[in-house]
Chain A
Amino acid sequence: MSDNNFRTCPDTGLLLHKPALRLIQANAVAAVVFLLVGGFMGLGVGLTRWPEVHLLGAQDFYTALTGHGINVLIFWIIFFEVAVLYFASSAVLRCRLAAPKIGWLAFALMIIGAVMNNYAVWALNSAVMMTSYAPMPAHWSFYLGLILFAVGALIGCFLFLGTLVIAKKEKTYEGSLPLVTFGALTACIIAVFTIASGALILLPTFFWQLGLISNIDAGVYRLIWWAFGHSSQQINVATHITIWYLVASIMFGAKPLSEKVSRFAFLLYIAVLQIASAHHLLVDPGVSAEWKMFNTSYAMYLAVMASMVHGVTVPGAMEAAQRARGFNNGLFEWLRKAPWGNPTFSSIIMSIFGFGFLGGITGVMMGTEQLNLLIHNTVYVPGHFHATVVLGTTMTFMGLTYWLVPILFRRELILMPLCKIQPYIFALGMTGVSMFMMGAGTMGVSRRHWDVSFTDATYPYEYASSALSMMSLNGLSVVVAVVGGAMFCLLIVGALLFGKKLGEDEKSSGFMIADPVTDEQYHALHASTNNAIPGTFSLAMIFLTTFALYYFINWKYLAETWGLS
C-alpha cells in the first residue's frame, strides 16, 4: 500500500484513503451545517410552544416545525451516516473507496435535494410537516427534493457495498468483517429497504402533484410512508449502536463481550425492526387488531430484544475491558474511572442511558396496541423521539465528531474546556425536552399545535395547568439544549477553521485511542470471576424494573378511561 492515495493516521494507525477522506469530510461538514440550520428552527418551535413566550406566528411556526423535522431528522443524520458508511468501510478495512467520483455525484444530489426541499418549505407554501400526509398537498418540488436526496443516499449505500467487495477481493482483512463494519452493513441494508419504501410512496405523491395521478389514498399513504419513516429510524439505531461499539474500542481497547451475540442482535434488526413500523397505525382505521399486534411484536418483541441485548453488551464490553485493565473494585469503579472529561466518551455514555431509559421504555409503551390510545399524536411522541433520535443518535454522532476532527482534518480541537462541558449541557437540555414533552403528552397536550391556549377557537378547551407548566419547562429546556447544540456546531466549525494544524505525521496532543486489552488480561479477569460485568448487569436489572413499573402503570391509566370496543 505504498500508493500515495493513502496516508497512515499517526494517532490511530488507521490507513486512510485520501479520496474517501475528502468525501467523508464533505458529508460530515454538510451534516453539521444542516444540524445548525435545523436546530435554529427547533429553537423557534420550542419558544413558540412555551405558553408565556409564544414567539412565532402560526404560519411561521408550522413552517419552522416542518423545516426543523426535515433538516435534523433527515439531512443532518443521513449526511452523517453516509460519512460513517465511508469510514466504516474504507478506513476500518484499510481499503480504497469504490468509485469516489460517483460519491461526489451522490453528494451533489443530496445537497441539491436538501436545498430544493428547504426552498419548497419556506418559499412555496409547503409547511406540511415532515410526514406530509396526503391528501394535504405540498409543492411538487417538496417531494422531488426528498427523492433526489434519497437517490444520493442510495448511491452512497452502494459505494459502501462496493467497497466491501473490493476489500474482500483485495484481501485487506482476514475472515469475517470487524464488528463495526458489520454493524454499518446492517444499517446499509436497512437503508436500502427504507429508501425503496420511500420511493414507493414519494414518487406517486410527486406524480400526483404534477397532475399525472388523480388521487392518493390517505390510509395507504400512511402505511407505506411509515415503512420509510420508521425504518429510517432503524438506520439511525443500527448506526449509533455501531458507533457505541467503535467508541468502546477506541476509549478502552475493548473487544465485544462476544462477537456472536452482538452480531446476532444486529441481524435481528434487519429481520424485524424495519418492518415494525406498524406501531404508527395502532389507532388507524382499516387495519385489524391481529395485524396490529403481530406487526408490532413479531410474536415476541424481537426488535426490542435486540436493543436490550446491545444495551448490555456495549457497556458490558467497556466494563470487561476496564476490569481487565485493573479497575476491578466494587460494582462501578470501571465506570467512575472512565474518562468523563472526554467529550467522545461522555456523549456516548449519556447517549446509552438516554436512549435506553428514556427512549426505549417509552417506545415500547407507545408501541403497544391499546396503550397507544393514550398518547397517539400528543407531544408525548416528540418527547419519546427526542430521547431516541437526539439523545441516542445525534449525541452519539456529536461524540464521534470530536474524535474524528483530528483524524479527518488534521486539526486540533479548540477551546477544550468548552468541548468538555458541551455534552453535559446538551444532554441536560435534551433530557428536559424529552421528559417535559412526555409529561405534557400524558396530560393530553397535542403535538404540532400552535396555540395551546386555544385563544381563537369557537369552543376552546383548557388543558390542566400542570400540563401548561410542563410546556414552559420544555421551552426552558429547549433553550439549554440549543445552547449545547450551538456550542457543538461552533466548536467543530471553529476547529476546522482555527484549530492548530497538524502535519501528516504529527500526533494530536489529545487522547486518541487506547491500546487493545490483551488476551492475557481478559483471561486473568475471567479466571478470577464467572461474571465479568456485575456493574452492567445490576444496571440492567434497574432498567428492567423501571421498564416493568412504567409499563404496568400505563395499563392502569388506560383502565380508567372510557370504555371502547
Chain B
Amino acid sequence: MTCLSPPAQRIWWNEPVERVELIWIGIVVVWGLVLTLMMPLWHVYGEQNLSTETYRTNPAQYQTKAQAMVDQFTVRTEGARQFPVVAPPVGSDVYLVARLWDWWPILELKEGQSYRLHLTSMDWNHGFSLQPVNINIQVLPGYEHVFTVTPNKSGEYSIVCNEFCGIGHHNMVGKIHVVK
C-alpha cells in the first residue's frame, strides 16, 4: 500500500486518521484564526489602513482638478524641468497625477498633518511607491483613489513608479517634501 495504490477502504473518507495529524490540524486552525483576525483588529487599533474610497474619472476631468490646485497653491518650481512645488492647505484635497513617465506636481506637506490624497493614472497602470518609508499602492487609469495620508516625519521623499509602464518606466520618479 503506497501513494500509488488505492486506499485499503473502498471509500477513502472511512480511512483512519493519525492522532498527531489531528493535533497539528488543531494548531493550524487556531493559527489561521489569528492570521484572519489580525486584519479587522488592525482596522480598529492600527493606523495604516488604506481607504478604498474610489471614483470613476477620466484624464481630462482629473487634469482640470489637478491644474486648479497647482494654479492656486504653487510656491516655487524645482529641478531641470521646472515642475511646480505645491503646498496645499492642511486637510485639503491633493491631486497627484501619474502619467508616462512623471509624477506631477511635486508636493510639500506638513509633518503630522493629514491630507486627502487623490491618485489616478492618465494612461496605463502605474505603481505609487513612496520611499524610503516603503508604502506601495497600485494606480489604475479610470479610477480615482482617495485616501488620507499623515506624514509622521519631515524630510525628502521620493515616489518611484513600481508598476512596469513602458520604456521610460525607470525614470518615473516624483517627489514629496515634508516640512515641520
Contact = CB atoms under 8 A, between A and B. Distances in A.
Contact of B1 (A283, A461, A516): A516
A512 interface: no
Interface in B154-170: 158, 160-167, 169-170
Interface string A58-83: 11001000000000000000000000
B136 interface: yes
B74 interface: no
Nearest to A537: B20
A369 interface: yes
Contact of A565 (B29, B51, B133, B139): B51
Interface in A243-283: 245-246, 248-250, 253-261, 263, 281, 283
A532 B18 contact: yes
Given A135-B124, A564-B49, A564-B149, A370 B39 contact: yes
A284 B149 CA distance: 16
B32 A176 contact: no
Contact of B3 (A136, A245, A285, A565): A245
Interface in A328-377: 364, 368-370, 372-377
Contacts of B5: 173, 178
Given A260-B13, A309-B24, A565 B148 contact: yes
Contact of B172 (A254, A364, A457): A457
Interface stretch (A28-36, A115-123, A300-308): A300-308
Interface in A144-176: 173-176
A564 B3 contact: no
B7 A175 contact: yes
Nearest to A533: B20
Interface string B1-16: 1111111011111111
Interface in B86-135: 102, 106, 114, 119, 121, 123-125, 127, 129-135
Given A370-B46, A446-B127, A563-B149, A537 B24 contact: yes
Interface in A423-457: 442-444, 446-451, 454, 456-457
Nearest to A312: B24
B18 A450 contact: no
A179 interface: yes
A248 B164 CA distance: 42
B63 interface: no
Contact of B6 (A58, A133, A177, A317): A177
B20 A176 contact: no
Nearest to B136: A376
A3 interface: no
A544 B27 contact: yes
Nearest to A246: B3
Contacts of A463: 131-132
B152 A136 contact: no
Nearest to A321: B2
A246 B48 CA distance: 45
Contacts of A564: 47-51, 135, 147-150
Interface residues of A, number: 109
Contacts of B19: 530-531
Nearest to B163: A377
Given A258-B17, A286-B54, A135 B172 contact: no
B17 A261 contact: yes
Q: Which of A249, A316, A561 is the most central at the interface, judged by chain B CB atoms within 10 Å of its CB?
A: A561
Given A370-B42, A532-B20, A133 B3 contact: no
B56 to A, nearest CB: 9
Contact of B150 (A364, A378, A449, A562): A562
Nearest to B143: A285
Q: Which of B16, B24, B29, B49 is the most central at the interface, judged by chain A CB atoms within 10 Å of its CB?
A: B24
B66 interface: no
A368 B3 contact: no
A248 B3 contact: yes
9 contacts: A285-B139, A312-B21, A316-B20, A370-B49, A373-B50, A454-B171, A531-B19, A558-B48, A559-B48
Query: Which 10 A-B residue pairs are closest in the complex by CB-CB distance?
Result: A563-B150, A285-B145, A461-B158, A446-B162, A249-B2, A301-B32, A376-B136, A377-B162, A175-B10, A259-B15
